[in-house]
Structure 1
């Protein structure tokens, strides 16, 4: 194992965290789990797998992913989500990497699954994500939703992370509900104001991007599913932003 600290953020991930920690320990000599006050058995399972658990109420995506970094004993950080695993090619690659340049960060291709079905349509693959970086030169941006690693130099590898995104289609819809609520909260936190047009405009834009620019229109049912769910997510997060402002004002329709 290399001097790399794996970091995972969790909230009620008892079904995922053991496999995630085990995956990280294949290349890391330390794993830290930053838990957002889970109500299930996530913390106990993570501890039993050898991870160090730090509890912290959710701060938003970027701040939460950065929270555990100062506690790491290593400067090199490998970040995974709880529903992600290193594929065999990623493990083999990391074992051979030269980690002497702290300005260098490494990206991976992500395989997104719905149940056992790997979805490659409409931009769901290769879905590049930067996950291995040196904390002295790089780190997650302080965005409260959809943050990413910023680094001086990034090498996008062809190695893979397996992302068990959704258990099934019903879980996909459930996650859109959860994530659109989180996104709406994050947008309101940074001062975005309501708009009666924004939900429809962003849903339409998302549909065009996935169907035309990403080719989903020509990629069968997977392409259509990705386009429709992306548009639904876009619509709901802006509709929920409007709702948050409306509730704050105490507005009631006559």
Structure 2
């Protein structure tokens, strides 16, 4: 086994998590599940397969991943989502690592699926993320959405062989629902970070995102699924900045509302 811990955050992932854990068990003897009180069979599957299972309140993607990092047996952390499955080449690549330099982080290439179809082009076809790091130097930011790793100065990155297979969405409906959900979270994040809605990001940025995904990155070569992804990318970009504009307007109304007219709900 590789001396690393795998951390997975979950919420009702019974459909996917079995295969994820099966591949993870070929890598390590320490798999930590941080669960947001699933109501399906997620807990039974995880415990039956020998994972360490913890239920926690939801404090955001980055914050909950950091909870798992604290509980890990090893300092080296491989961060996974429940719908991600390491292929054999990636597993062998992990087994070949010395893991003797905590300044190094490891980047993993992804193969993403729309339903059962592998998406080869567009933004999904270029997907890769840093997923293996040493917790003595690196942790997740506490952002509620689109969490990123906080990498200190002097960090070196290496690309691993193999792929993480990401079964992102089952169909158009799920893809659209996720786009709406992440748009709202992104708007809240932008508001907290002081980012403003303007003409460029309200109208031009969504159009450019569609053109980049569908035309420049060759998304049209993925057929109907490529078009669906490009359209939903456009919708997500459009929505998050219009949600941000609403939140900004709401803040202005609160700021200028006379105290005697304010009502607590």
Q: TM-score, normalised by structure 2?
A: 0.84
**Equivalent residue pairs, number:** 251
Higher Rg = 2
Note the C-alpha offset of 1:215.
Answer: 3.5
Note the C-alpha offset of 1:244.
Answer: 4.1
Q: Report the secondary structure of 1:50's partner residue.
A: coil
User: What is the CA deviation profile of residues 199-230 of structure 1, one whole-angstrom value per residue up to 9, with x for unaligned ones?
Assistant: 32331231233244423356654443332121
Instruction: Give the structure 1 partner of residue 262 of structure 2.
Output: none
Instruction: Give the structure 2 partner of residue 131 of structure 1.
Output: 131
The structure in which a higher percent of residues are helix is 2
Note the C-alpha offset of 1:14.
Answer: 2.0
Instruction: Give the structure 2 partner of residue 121 of structure 1.
Output: 121
Instruction: Give the structure 2 partner of residue 181 of structure 1.
Output: 184
Task: Give 1:241's match in structure 2, choosing from 240, 244, 262.
Answer: 244
Equivalence map 1:1-254=2 (5 Å): 1-151=1-151, 152-193=155-196, 198-216=201-219, 220-245=223-248, 249=253
User: What is the CA deviation profile of residues 87-121 of structure 1, one whole-angstrom value per residue up to 9, with x for unaligned ones?
Assistant: 11111111111111111111111000011100111
CA RMSD, aligned part only? 2.4
User: For structure 1, which runs of at least 5 residues remain unmatched after alignment?
Assistant: none
User: What is the CA deviation profile of residues 9-59 of structure 1, one whole-angstrom value per residue up to 9, with x for unaligned ones?
Assistant: 112212222222222111011111111233333233322222112222222
User: For structure 2, which runs of at least 5 residues remain unmatched after alignment?
Assistant: 258-265
User: What is the CA deviation profile of residues 48-71 of structure 1, one whole-angstrom value per residue up to 9, with x for unaligned ones?
Assistant: 222112222222222222221111
Deviates more, 1:104-113 or 1:216-225: 216-225
Maintained 8 Å contact 1:121/1:222: no
CA distance, structure 2, for counterparts of residue 10 and residue 213 of structure 1: 34
CA distance, structure 1, for counterparts of residue 209 and residue 56 of structure 2: 33
| Distance change >3 Å, CA 195–CA 59, structure 1 → 2 | farther
Maintained 8 Å contact 2:121/2:221: no
| Distance change >3 Å, CA 224–CA 66, structure 1 → 2 | same
